Structure formats: C-alpha cells, structure tokens
Structure 1
Amino acid sequence: MNTLQEHWNKIFKETPEEKLGWYESEVTQTIRFLDGVNFENKLVFLPGAGTSRLVDGLIENGAILILNDISNEALTALRKRVGNPEKHYWYCGDISKPLPKEIPAVDIWIDRAVLHFLIEDKEINGYFENLNRIVKTNGYVLLAEFSLNGAQKCAGLNVHRYSADELIERVGCNFKLLKSEEYVYVNPSGGERPYIYTLFKRNGA
C-alpha cells in the first residue's frame, strides 16, 4: 500500500495544477475573509500549501510564509514558481505530527482544505496542538474546511466534515471566533463543494 506521502506525490506529479479538485485561479474568498488583517511583513503558516495560488496572493500582500506540505513534489513545484523562495520557510512533513522546534511563532495560520483530510482523533488533536503552540498572542487563524453538507471524499480519501461549532471546540478556549460563513466552492470540473469558513483571533495576554 502506498504511504500518504506517496499518494499526494502521485497526485501533484501526474495531475495538471488547473485540474486539481481544489484549484482556484483566484483566491478572493480567502483574502476577503481576512479583510482588515495586515499581511505586511507578517509571518503566515500555510499547512498543506500544495501548489495553491493563495501563496502568490499572500506574497503580493507582503507576507512572509512558512509553507508546509506532506508532498515534496508539491513544494518543489511551488518553490520553482515563487520568486525569491529563500525569503520563505519550507517544511515537508505531516501536519498532524509535532512541528520542528525551529519553526518560529506565527502571526497568522491559514488552512484552506487540509484539516478535513485528518480522520483520526489523534491526528486532529496533533494538528491543533501544533496550531496552539505556534500562533502568537493576538494572532489569527482561518480554517476553511468541508462543511457538514460537503463531499464525503476528496482526492480518493475520506474526509472529516466540520460545523462551525466543532471548529470552535477543537481550536480551544485560547481563541475567539470573529466570524463564520458557509461558502460553496465550484471546482474545475464544475462540482459544488460546500465549505465552512471560520476566522479566529488568539486572546491577548
């Protein structure tokens, strides 16, 4: 059986970017949802960055990025596309496992469509332990995942669908929900994918 990394490497190696089921040619929904958040010289963590065009949008807004993915194929393709790649941090690894201690605390954590691939409670808990460890006081967290009405599978894998209430519970009492929104994403093949978008802010000291 292929490992999870082999599964994702095969997808990113063999599927044209614009045919990926989560591909967005423009990323206005995510940027709009973060309206009012200043990205200039802010450190932003992107779990499951893949080859997302969100990376380009954040760089255009002045962010410095920590780009994580389990697929080295995805990060290699992204590194080739991103200008000045040495300005950013690159980490190939499973986001449900403890992050290396050298990864610095971040101002913003943005997850579009990664958390829902974690199925077991141990994996989900590991993800949120990482999030709680590295997001700074007064930092922001955006979680955009398949909603309860969303697809049950993606990229050949089962997914865990979320409500806003579950995301509030999972992120924990250190964070305050600023807003949540149902959003229907239309994928490259024309399929509708209902998402739940939530934005949190870490409580001040």
Structure 2
Amino acid sequence: MIDDHGSEVSGGTDGGAGSARPADAGSRSAFWEGVHHGKDVDGVSWWQSVPGLSLGLVDSTGLGREEPIIDVGAGWSTLVDHLVERGHRDLTAVDLSVTALRTVRERLGDAGEGVTLTPADVLDLHLGRDYALWHDRAVYHFLTEPGERDDYRASLERHLRPDGRLVVATFGPDGPTTCSGLPIVRYTHAELAAEFPGFELVDTAGEEHRTPWGAAQQFTAVLMRRRAG
C-alpha cells in the first residue's frame, strides 16, 4: 500500500530539456510525475542498480536495524531494497511521483512489508513521526531559491531526532549544471555542510556516477549529525 500523506497525480509535463521550472507544490508534482510516467527505470539519468555511495554512508552510521530511516526524493531508487536485504525494518520512502513509488512497491513485493511509501512534497512534509536518519540523494541540488532551502530544512528539523543523522548528496563542483531540464546548484563538501548549520560534519564521500547511457556525473555527499540542544 502507498500511504496517502500527499496527493496522487497522473500525467504531467515532460521532464526533458526546456521544461519550465516548477515553482509550487502542484507543478512540482506534475513535473516529476511526467519525468517518471511511461519510462523504464533506467530511462532516468540518476538510476543505479546498487547505490554504493548512499549505502556506504548509511552503513557508517552504525544504526541498528530497528532504527527508522527516511529516504526523501526516493523515486525509483533501490536504496530501500538494499536496506531491506540488510535487515532494516522501519523504512520510509517519499517522492512526488506516485508512478515511481508504485514501481518500487511492485519491485519489493512481500519483502517490502516494513517499507512505507509516501507521495509527498519534501518542502512541506508532515508525517507525524521522527527518524534516526534522513537520506537525500539529488533533491537538495534542485533547490535553487533560498526559500526552498529554508522549507527543506524546516521539514528536516520536524522529522529528524535530536541526535539524528543526515546524509545528503548533490552534484559536485564539476558535475552537470542541469538535470531533467532544470537548473541545479552544485556544491563542494564544505559548501554542502555549511547549508546545515545545526549539524556537525561526520564524514564526506563522493563518486563519479555513470548514467545508463554512459555520461559521467560528479556527486558530492556528506554525513552529518544533528547537534543536541
């Protein structure tokens, strides 16, 4: 079952180059539904069969298998699949695209009994619970306006425990300047860590991601711990 904390949408605009930048919740939902609708999972540039960068950082937190983890902007990511295989039992995946989440549900099958899939906007997230780890691969770099980043951080603060961990990955300084036809913001490790002043940096990582069609994309990632108080 897909949890209905957000609105289901269908159809939408094409996610290719030249698309108008979505500026509100409704247009963001329609845009990302359009990106996923009618495509195979490997038809999007960020597809990875094994999300090694994310898994390495999640593993380094040392979280117990019962600790709750949320993956925002999950799309078709296989992160939850691999976390289920590793024995994690309390997983939530959030995305604007119901199509993407339905694909994940079908792929998980019975193994996904402990995975909650929620269509919702991370800029206005209200799930009524908190998490030990917040994971985001490639949402934050789409937030080109200061107000969007403020809204993201407000959602993060509502949902992360006082001692919680944060993993965020974006395009690095030598990565692409656009994705799915939209502008993005590129970050160094230091710049990305500075975006979260209530957190202390624990570790950094990076990778040169190869898209399904062979293009190289530099990713920067940080692991941070929320400061107490």
| TM-score between both structures, scaled by the size of structure 2 | 0.81
Q: Secondary structure at the match of 1:34?
A: helix
Match of 1:148 in 2: 173
Deviations 1:110-169 (A, max 9, x none): 111111112211111111111122111222111111112110111111112122222222
Question: How many Å separate the matches in 2 of 1:141 and 1:170?
Answer: 12
Match of 1:132 in 2: 157
Say whether 1:72 aligns with 2:90. no
The answer (yes or no) to whether the contact 1:48–1:70 under 8 Å persists in 2 is yes
Q: Secondary structure at the match of 1:96?
A: helix
| Mapping for residues 152-163 of structure 1, pairs under 5 Å | 152-163=177-188
Unaligned runs of 5+ in 2: 1-11, 14-26
Deviations 1:160-203 (A, max 9, x none): 21222222222123x11011133211111111101111000123
Deviations 1:23-46 (A, max 9, x none): 101122221223332350111111
Match of 1:95 in 2: 122
| TM-score between both structures, scaled by the size of structure 1 | 0.90
Deviations 1:83-117 (A, max 9, x none): 344533232121112x2252x11011111111111
Unaligned runs of 5+ in 1: none
Among all aligned residue pairs of Structure 1 and Structure 2, give the percentage whose two residues are the same amino acid.
27
Say whether 1:113 aligns with 2:138. yes
Q: Secondary structure at the match of 2:123?
A: coil
Coordinate RMSD, CA, aligned: 1.8
Match of 2:216 in 1: 192
Question: How many Å separate the matches in 1 of 2:51 and 2:158?
Answer: 27
What residue identity is the alignment partner of 1:131? L
Match of 2:8 in 1: none
Counting matched residue pairs gives 202
After TM superposition, the runs of 4+ consecutive aligned structure 1 residues lying more than 6 A away are none
Q: Secondary structure at the match of 2:187?
A: coil
Question: How many Å separate the matches in 1 of 2:172 and 2:207?
Answer: 9
The answer (yes or no) to whether the contact 1:106–1:136 under 8 Å persists in 2 is yes
What residue identity is the alignment partner of 2:120? G
Say whether 1:8 aligns with 2:32. yes
**Greater alpha carbon shift after TM alignment, 127-136 vs 81-90:** 81-90
Deviations 1:39-95 (A, max 9, x none): 501111111011111110111122211111011111111122223445332321211
